[in-house]
A and B are shown apart, each in its own frame.
Chain A
Amino acid sequence: MRLITALALAAGMLLGGVGVSAQELRVNEIGIESIEGSAKVDMFRPEKEQAVIPRNFQKQPPLIPHGIKGYNITQNFNKCMDCHSKERAEETGATKVAKSHYLDREDKKQSNISPRRYFCMQCHVPQFDAKPLVANTYKPAAKKGE
């Protein structure tokens, strides 16, 4: 046990050392400057639950307004669907899965959630007041009738 701990510590120090030197250089193996460390947000500290941030553009996948730590989506069980599925949403007060999630890639309506929509976090991410890494002038398109 003690040996394992010692080995783990040694490995950690070694890896830590490598990490620090890489960060100082800010250039990775293929010669591209790393943006790690220059990010304006701390990616490892998700924000606590807060009011819903309005969407930035039409049809933007809504952000997740709550913590999702430990919420796994596996073949056996989809944690999100434990509350957000059509069946459960009313009782849990969660937002119901949108109708668009029942369409397959040919836009044909399926009787249930389309497999391509199974992995919620491909599109929906926890909300976070992340500052853009690069300045941009993006504006959403005007809504219909505006």
Chain B
Amino acid sequence: MMSLDKFTPAWVKRIGLVTVFGLFAAGIVFWGGFNWALEATNKESFCISCHEMEENVFREYQNTVHYTNRTGVRATCPDCHVPKEWGPKMIRKIQASNEVLHKILGTIDTPEKFNAKRAQLAQNEWKRMKANDSQECRNCHRYDYMDYTEQGNRAAKQHPQAFTEGKTCIDCHKGIAHQLPAIDQHIGKQNDGAVAITHGEKPAEPAKEEEKPAAK
């Protein structure tokens, strides 16, 4: 046992080998607990425990292909809204504390309030996805794995074209899981001056309020 003693660092000798193992075990327990708590906030049931989500976006999502489909594969809230990698996930979770604040303030606690904020909320999410090259989409939908011959005519034509132009999923696929806010499509007075969406042609820009004169 003397030989082992030689290799033992001084700080271990000072606090004792048992304490060292104890601390190590405690570390595992704490890390496990932290991770468990973090994952608990990463479940659909957690997301919709807040009625802001349950009554608005969750109901809309239930009508879409990411909720109900032929094969029974489902993408739940965190699959699209929380990054999978540890770093970005932590950043997103810290940002989410702002959402807790607004939950307490009741900023969007009725469908009316939610819809009034919908444009802003949607743009936040589009901006996030544009910035990370639609990482959450690509966790499942890798475009280098796509078989264009299996796609419809329009998709088979548009996808390679868009990827060559350096576009990312969210550029075109907006409002696929939730309803869109009012969008100015330049097809009448209805939504004149509302959010204008690009399809990735120009660098992503937040919608400007003063776009009316240019848009006929």
Identify the A interface with B (CB < 8 A): 48-49, 66-67, 69-70, 72, 74-78, 81-82, 85, 87, 91-93, 111-113, 115, 118
Can you report 23 residue pairs joining A to B where beta carbons are below 8 Å apart? Answer: A49-B152, A49-B154, A70-B64, A72-B179, A75-B182, A75-B190, A76-B180, A76-B183, A77-B182, A77-B185, A78-B185, A78-B187, A81-B187, A85-B185, A87-B186, A91-B201, A92-B158, A111-B216, A112-B186, A112-B187, A112-B189, A113-B187, A118-B190
B1 smallest CB distance to A (angstroms): 57
Q: Is the CB of B186 within 8 A of A76?
A: no
CA–CA, A78 to B175, complex, Å? 11
Give the residue name and chain of the B residue nearest to A111 (CB): B216
Identify the B interface with A (CB < 8 A): 64-65, 152-154, 157-158, 175-176, 179-183, 185-191, 194, 199, 201, 216
Other than the given A49-B152, A112-B216, 14 more pairs (CB < 8 A) read A67-B152, A72-B179, A76-B180, A76-B181, A76-B194, A77-B182, A85-B185, A87-B185, A93-B157, A112-B186, A112-B187, A112-B188, A112-B189, A118-B188
A117 smallest CB distance to B (angstroms): 10
Q: Is the CB of A49 within 8 A of B153?
A: yes
Partner of B153, one of A66, A74, A111: A66
